[in-house]
Amino acid sequence: MIKPLLYGGLAVLGMASAMAKADSPASLMAQYAQQAGVPVSGLSASRGATLYRTEHPGRDGQAVSCAGCHTANPAQAGRSRVGKRIEPLAPAANPQRFTDAAKVEKWFRRNCQDVLQRECSAQEKGDFIAWLSQAR
C-alpha cells in the first residue's frame, strides 16, 4: 500500500526536477521571442551571426567582438583574455550550452556590457541563439 505511494511520490519529484532543468536552445528562443513580442520565426540567425562577428570599440579603445574570444567558428573552442580554454558555444559542438537559463542570462549580461557597452535586447538574445543553434 505504502510502496506504490512512495514510488509514485519519487517519480513525481523526479519529473518536477527534470522539468525545472529543461532549458534548451529551443525553449530559450521561445522565451526571448515572447519577451521581444515576436513569433519564434521572427528570430534571425543571420542577424545573430552579425551580432556575433561585429567588432565594437571596447572600454580601452581596442576592438572587441564575441568572435574575439569565441573565435570566428563557434563550434571551435575559444580562449579567454588570460589564456584559459573556452568550450565551444555552438550546441552542436557542446551540448551543455543553452541548457541553463540563469547561466545564459549571466553571460549575456556580462558580455553584452563588455562588447556593446549595454545590455542586449530580448530580440538580440533570441537571434544569437538562433544563429548558434544552426552553427555546425
Partner 1 sequence: MNYLLRGIGVVAAVGVFSLLAFSLPSGDAHGDGGGNVLPRTANKAWQQECASCHIAYSPAFLPKASWRRLMSGLDQHFGENASLDPATQADILRFLEANAADSGTSRMGSRVMQSMGVSAAPLRITDTRWFVRKHDEVSQATWSRKSIGSAANCAACHRQAEQGVFDEDTVRIPKQ
- Footprint of partner 1 on this chain (CB under 8 A)? 1-3, 6, 58-60, 80-84, 106, 109-111, 113-114
Contact 70, 86 (CB under 8 A): yes
- Find the shortest distance in angstroms from Cβ 63 to partner 1: 14
Question: CA-to-CA distance for 108 and 113, rounded, in angstroms?
Answer: 8
78-79/63-64 β-pairing: unpaired
Residue pointed to by grid coordinates 557597452? 117
- Comparing CB distances to partner 1, the nearer of 58 and 99 is 58
CB of 38 to partner 1, least distance (A): 27
Q: How does 35-65 read in b/e, with b if 16+ C-beta sit within 10 Å?
A: ebeeeeeebbbebbbebbeeeeeeeeeeebb
The residue type at 33: A
Nearer to partner 1, 59 or 136 (CB): 59
CB of 111 to partner 1, least distance (A): 7
Q: Which of 50, 21, 70 is nearest to 130 (CA)?
A: 50
Closer of 53 and 103 to partner 1 (Cβ): 103
Min dist. Cβ of residue 33 to partner 1 (A): 25
* Closest approach of partner 1 to the CB of residue 80, in Å: 4
